[in-house]
Each structure stands twice: as C-alpha cells, then as structure tokens.
Copies of this chain bind each other. A is one copy, B any other.
Amino acid sequence: MLTNKAMGLIFANMHSSSVGNMTAQRTMASLPFAGRYRLVDFCLSSFVRGGLREVGVIVKENYHSLMNHLGSGKEWDLSRKIAGLMVYPPFIGSLSGTVYHGKIAALYNVLPYIKESGSKHVVLADCDHVSNFNTAELVNNHIDNGADVTILCYEQQNKDEGGLNATSVLRDENGRVIDIDFNRPPKENYLVSMNIMVINRELLIELVEDAYSHRMIVLERDILQHHIKDLFINTVVYDGFVRRINSVQSYFTSSMSLLEPDNRKCLFDPLKPIYTKVNDDAPARYGIGCNVKNSLVADGCIIEGEIENCLLFRGAKVRSGSVLKNCIIMQDTVIEEGASLSYVIADKEVKIGKDRSLMGYESYPLYIQKGSVV
C-alpha cells in the first residue's frame, strides 16, 4: 500500500481571541469569510488538493459550528474509507482531566493519532491566514531539501499589517532560518510566518514529548527557537494573495480586499478550487429598482435596496429603500426597508429594523453579533 507523504493537522482555536466577539460562539476555523466560506476551508482545500488524505482538526472549545460545518468531511472529499477527516475534541478522562493550553499540549493530546499515522511528515496549520497556498509544493520542497522543519511564509507587504501575534523569521543565504521573532511587528528583512509548517512526523513526536515533559507551551518559541541551531529549519516563500486575520479591523480590510479582481483571481483560481459546505441556496435575485455597485453577492441573496462596496453572504436580504455602504452582511441577515448602514459587519441572522441607521468607521468597523435584533 502507498504510504502517504504527509498528514495534516489543523488547530481550530488558535488566535480565536484576536477577533473578539466574532468568535464568541465559534472557533477561528469556522469564522465566515468571503460570502460563503469559513477560514478552515482554505486550509482544508489546499491540503486535499495537495494529496493529503488524512487530516485531523484539533478543537478546544466552542466547536459546535465547526463540527456542523465539517460534517462527515464529504465536501472536501475527506469522508474516506481509509483515513479521511477526524475531529479531535479535548479528550477528558484520558489525560490530565483539564483542557490543554498551548499548541504543545494540544499536540501531546493527539500524539496517539500522530503515532498511528503511516505518513512521513505532518503539515501543521493555524487558521488565521487566508490564502490559496500549494501544499504539494510545500511538502515536496521540504522533502527535496531534506529539512527538519519547513515554514511557509511571505514577505511583509505592509508595515501596518504585522503586529499582534505575528511570528517572523530571518534566513541566511542558504534559506536556513537563523532567527525567529514573536508577537511583534516583523523586523526589516524578516519574513512573516503563515503559521503553516511541515515537520517530520517522528521528529515532531520526539520534540513534543520532550517539550511537554518540560512544561513548555508555545511550539514556535519553546521548540523551534530553542532548537534553531540543531534543526534545519527551512522556508518556502508564498507570493500569492495572503491576508492575516488578527483583529476585527483586519478581518474587515481582508474581506474588502476581495473587491479587487486580481485578489479574487488569485484566491479563487478555478484550477485550485476552495471547497466548502453546500447550502443549496437559489440564485441571487436582483429586484426592480435595486442598485448594486462594486460588491460581492452570494447565492440566495435578495437585493431590492442599494449597496456599494459590500460583501453579502448567502441568503442576506436587503429590502427596498435601504442603503448599505462598505458593509459585510453575513448569512441570512435581513436589512429592513429604509435602513442605512455604513462600515458595519453584521454577523449571521441579524435583523436591522426599518429606518435604522448604523455607522462605523474604516478604522473601526461596527460589529453586530450573531442573532442580534437592531
């Protein structure tokens, strides 16, 4: 039987706290994005297209919506007889009895599964970056270079986008990482990590067991930085569209950047499709007298009002006489007649009443929680 080159492991809850109330009832992985996706879709799709047949999703809390989204994994072709998709909830009773903190403990918790896998390598990924990276290329580069660890990273495009939680790396002339920096804006010449890396499976097991027994918590700091001399830490530079979600504001600007055709073309390359759960919405309906400019509209929307620079998720309804500018309207949210919204992110199933007026700012978009009635 063919042994798979690599298995995938996705950390669903990492960075959840960075987007505030948006993850009050969901994981970072299940944060809705781009009209019909969840953040986990980008990672899962890339894994599957790259030939990974065994993918584990490590969850810690608030994972109702994620489990519901993933279902049997069929939409990503991961409802397999052999291997496939596995969700790993924290296994109470089997280990210490409390829920883990940090990536090392999370990995330690699923070590039995990692040990059982027949794969040579493990691809680890957080869900805080939106991109359409090439998993096959990443893994092959890792193998061809004989690296111990390979970090996927990108060149910092904009000084402002760094900040909170960023991990960045400095390479020598051979592409080998010689410094790792944490939780601050990347320095000059440093590459930003996409929080996606490949590591040899047996090495990972050894490092995690060792680190866990020494009560270490952060993978990048306590393992990678620590072993920077004795491990060959390699990098692959991704040069396509990539956005990091580390705040409500960056969620907003990342979403709005999709109004640029080039960004869409890169993220939604038809040859590299992003799979997601199917919702069976009817087509979007544009009513008499509606006015739609520079907007992304998902299926199932009914638009009778006016929208400009907006992103409408599946089933959003914009009644006649309402005006929306620079807004993100999530699934099944209804904007009633005569309402006026600007720089608003309305989560799922929100109701904005007749003639209401809500205004945020580009630097501080107004976020309205799931199910709110305004």
Contact = CB atoms under 8 A, between A and B. Distances in A.
A34 to B, nearest CB: 23
Interface of A: 25, 60-64, 67, 71-74, 79, 81, 84-87, 89-94, 99, 112, 278
Nearest to A89: B89
Nearest to A99: B92
Contacts of A71: 72, 84
Contacts of A61: 91-94
A93 B90 CA distance: 11
A312 to B, nearest CB: 25
A20 to B, nearest CB: 16
Contacts of A84: 71-72
Contacts of A74: 72, 79, 81
Nearest to A116: B68
Nearest to A62: B93
Given A84-B72, A89-B89, A112 B79 contact: no
Contacts of A85: 72
A64 B81 CA distance: 17
A205 B224 CA distance: 50
A79 B70 CA distance: 12
Nearest to A61: B93
28 contacts: A25-B94, A60-B92, A60-B93, A61-B91, A61-B92, A61-B93, A62-B91, A62-B93, A62-B94, A64-B91, A64-B112, A67-B86, A67-B87, A71-B72, A71-B84, A72-B72, A72-B73, A72-B74, A72-B84, A72-B85, A74-B81, A79-B79, A81-B278, A89-B89, A89-B90, A90-B92, A92-B99, A93-B99
